[in-house]
Amino acid sequence: KSGFVAIIGRPNVGKSTLLNRIVKQKIAIMSDKAQTTRNKIQGVYTTPDAQIVFIDTPGIHKPKHRLGDFMVETAYSALREVDATLFMVSAEQPRGRGDDFIIERLKKSETPVYLIINKIDTIHPDKLFGIIEDYQSQMDFAEIVPISATEGNNVDKLLTILESKM
Ligand code: GDP
Ligand code: MG
């Protein structure tokens, strides 16, 4: 079993942190500063049964100038080549225009989109259901997986789900 998976989401939601945890080697640059990751960086997760190639996209947001426009298109073109997309959001912040911009593009995706709600360690568990409902009202996701990329909560479950769908 093998496949390609893209990780997409606003800057600072934790995409690089998750990728680094999954591939267990430092291949993406982690930073508090937005858009440190400027290129598609691939990491490979390998088990005896599966091989999943992950693609970390640059922070995708509404472009403010033509270069930004180009970067956004580069990131979205990567999505046409993958088997599944992980759309990562942060439980710490409410859904914003940056998320809605991405959602509008993901609605056109022909491959499954998984909603990954990251940073669940920062919220009271009672708040999770409301967050899930809010995103679900915007689009249908193949699967919704709440995780903490820093603490590792549910990351194994996410990998199991991805493996089973390859
Ligand atoms: P990216 O821009 O989406 O690649 O985000 P990064 O992986 O660079 O993470 C941005 C910041 O969020 C860093 O300071 C991370 O340590 C932090 N972060 C990432 N995942 C989590 C998480 O699950 N919980 C908490 N509390 N912080 C996180
Ligand atoms: Mg990053």
What is the DSSP track for 73-136? HHHHHHHTT-SEEEEEEETTS---HHHHHHHHHHTT-SS-EEEEEE-GGGS-GGGHHHHHHHHH
Mean pLDDT of successive 10-residue stretches along the chain, which has 166 residues: 88 90 60 44 78 73 59 68 92 94 89 96 97 97 97 95 88
Structure tokens at 55: 């693609």
What pTM did the predictor assign? 0.86
What's the CA-to-centroid distance between 127 and ligand 2, angstroms?
A: 26
d(CA 166, CA 150): 25
Atom of ligand 1 nearest to the CA of 151: 23
- pLDDT at position 81 is 77
Q: How far is the CA of 40 from the centre of ligand 1 (A)?
A: 18
Q: Quick one: pLDDT at residue 36?
A: 40
Domains, the chain: 2-165 (3.40.50.300)
Q: What is the ipTM of this complex?
A: 0.99
Whose tokens are 């088990």? That residue is 47
Residue 32, pLDDT score: 43
8 A C-beta contact, residue 60 and residue 40? no
Determine whether the shortest distance from the Cβ of 121 to ligand 1 is under 6 A. yes
Q: What's the pLDDT at 30? A: 46
Q: What is the pLDDT of residue 70?
A: 63
Q: Find out whether 57 is annotated in a ligand binding site.
A: yes
Going by CA atoms, what residue is nearest to atom 20 of ligand 1?
14
Whole-number pLDDT of residue 14: 93
Mutate to test the pocket of ligand 1, among 150, 153, 155, 158 (most ligand atoms within 8 A of CB): 150
Residue 96: the pLDDT is: 94
